[in-house]
Chain A
């Protein structure tokens, strides 16, 4: 069974607008971490934001925020004030204790001027 599900293969957003990228996860562990990465065409994985399963506050990092709804097992990424440079693939990932990161299928975001 898929542990991380990203249901949006592609998204478009106008420059300066906000966009939400969806992510749901599946785990029976109590302790886990949720991560979002950006992958531009160069291929490098750029860490954006982290949310721990015990964190009560939603994580924020600059223009990135993570909308964490534990009961629904969702960890959506919100990018505010989109910029042209935000165009890239975005991956949601989960890490359970003792395991490596598991990635979703990704969402390709295109920011339009």
Chain B
């Protein structure tokens, strides 16, 4: 299957700082990328959907000013957690797809574990 990388895999930052997470599709062009958040022992919750070259669509309750998403190319999307606080500590997983049809698989990155101290 297609490969999606995520960097960094783990990050610890101090409260009030910003953290950027990169998601890359390595062997295909991802017209659509998705960002999920997962709390311990919980399911994946969709945060936002982004299409290359356009603004991301955020799910209800997700602060767009806090979680900045950029999808500048067909192989790269970034999630920046601005002014991070301990409650932002979580596992963030990106996913990439060649489109939005129901039959298209979403390929997942390995995830980034963010800890805010």
Using CB atoms and an 8 Å cutoff, list the residues of chain A in contact with chain B. 29, 31-33, 35, 37, 42-45, 47, 50, 52-53, 91, 95-106
**B1-44 with Cβ < 8 A to chain A:** 1, 34, 38, 42-44
Of B49, B103, B105, which contacts A47 at CB under 8 A? B105
User: Is there an interface contact between A102 and B105, defined as CB atoms closer than 8 Å?
Assistant: no
Specify which chain A residues have a CB less than 8 angstroms from the CB of B43 in the assembled complex: 91, 103-106
User: Is there an interface contact between B102 and A45, defined as CB atoms closer than 8 Å?
Assistant: no
Q: Number of A-B pairs whose CB atoms are under 8 Å?
A: 62
User: Is there an interface contact between B102 and A95, defined as CB atoms closer than 8 Å?
Assistant: yes
Chain B positions 73 through 117: 1 when the CB is less than 8 Å from some CB of chain A, otherwise 0: 000000000000000000101010000111111111011010000
User: Is there an interface contact between A91 and B100, defined as CB atoms closer than 8 Å?
Assistant: no
Of B1, B34, B107, B111, which contacts A100 at CB under 8 A? B34
User: Is there an interface contact between B105 and A45, defined as CB atoms closer than 8 Å?
Assistant: no
Given A33-B102, A47-B1, the answer on whether A102 and B46 have CB atoms closer than 8 Å is yes
User: Is there an interface contact between B106 and A44, defined as CB atoms closer than 8 Å?
Assistant: no
Classify chain B's interface size: 20 to 34
In angstroms, Cα B100 to Cα A45, docked, is 19
Specify which chain B residues have a CB less than 8 angstroms from the CB of A44 in the assembled complex: 108, 110-111
User: Is there an interface contact between A53 and B110, defined as CB atoms closer than 8 Å?
Assistant: no
In angstroms, Cα B113 to Cα A53, docked, is 34
In angstroms, Cα B39 to Cα A43, docked, is 11
In angstroms, Cα B34 to Cα A37, docked, is 16
Nearest first, the 4 A-B pairs at minimum CB distance are: A45-B108, A33-B102, A43-B111, A103-B43
User: Is there an interface contact between B105 and A50, defined as CB atoms closer than 8 Å?
Assistant: yes
Q: B1, B45, B46: which has the most chain A beta carbons within 10 Å? A: B46
**B47-86 with Cβ < 8 A to chain A:** 49
